[in-house]
């Protein structure tokens, strides 16, 4: 039972190590975004690209917090409460709780960056739509003015 207790802690740590590797890949992929923003003043990402990264981050966050058993205490410790102390000691030694918090903090930071990019993309689209509306209003005014001018010319010609 002691070996089983230790193996549960090690298994949770190994699963958490996998999630940490996935997070490192996401950090490497997204670390260029702030550099691009600082250097060029914009980021060459489409809305779909931003949504894909957000989706990967949420999937990682869900796997760590909801789907995997990294945060759960295995059922065996309910029936064997004397092993609970050993299990908690192993989790403490492997720093599982701290590593989960760190993963959640990292996903939060990247999510904040992506939220800002999404807002920027939305603002750019909003600006473009506003310009289109202004152009349409100007064209409408020109057409209305031309119509009034033509009517005025026709009335003068008739008199």
Tokens of 47: 């809305």
Question: The domain 2-120: what is its CATH number?
Answer: 1.20.58
- What does the alpha-carbon distance between residue 148 and residue 153 come to, in Å, rounded to a whole number? 9
- Percent of the chain past pLDDT 70, that is, above it, reads 98
Within 10 angstroms of residue 87's Cβ, the number of other Cβ atoms is 20
The pLDDT, as a whole number, for residue 64 is 82
Phi, psi of 89, rounded to the nearest 5 degrees: -65, -40
How buried is 88 (Cβ within 10 angstroms: 0-12 exposed, 13-18 middle, 19+ buried)?
middle
Q: Any idea where the domains of the chain sit in the sequence?
A: 2-120
Model confidence pLDDT, tens digit, residues 102-145: 988 988 888 888 888 777 777 766 778 888 999 999 999 999 99
The pLDDT, as a whole number, for residue 139 is 94
Tokens of 16: 């958490």
30 vs 137 pLDDT, higher one? 137
Tokens of 138: 């100007």
CB 12 within 8 A of CB 96: yes
User: Across the chain, what does the average pLDDT equal?
Assistant: 85
CB 56 within 8 A of CB 26: yes
């Amino acid at each position: 039972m002691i070996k089983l207790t230790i193996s549960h802690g090690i298994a949770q740590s190994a699963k958490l190590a996998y999630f940490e590797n996935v997070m490192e890949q996401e950090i490497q992929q997204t670390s260029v975004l702030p550099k691009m923003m600082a250097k060029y003043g914009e980021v060459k990402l489409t809305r779909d690209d931003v949504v894909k990264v957000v989706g990967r981050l949420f999937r990682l966050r869900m796997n760590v917090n909801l789907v995997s058993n990294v945060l759960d205490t295995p059922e065996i410790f309910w029936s064997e409460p004397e092993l609970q102390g050993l299990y908690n000691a192993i989790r403490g030694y492997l720093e599982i709780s701290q590593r989960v918090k760190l993963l959640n903090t990292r996903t939060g930071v990247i999510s904040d960056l992506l939220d800002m990019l999404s807002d920027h993309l939305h603002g750019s689209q909003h600006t473009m739509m506003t310009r289109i509306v202004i152009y349409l209003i100007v064209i409408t005014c020109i057409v209305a003015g031309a119509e009034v001018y033509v009517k005025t010319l026709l009335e003068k010609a008739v008199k």
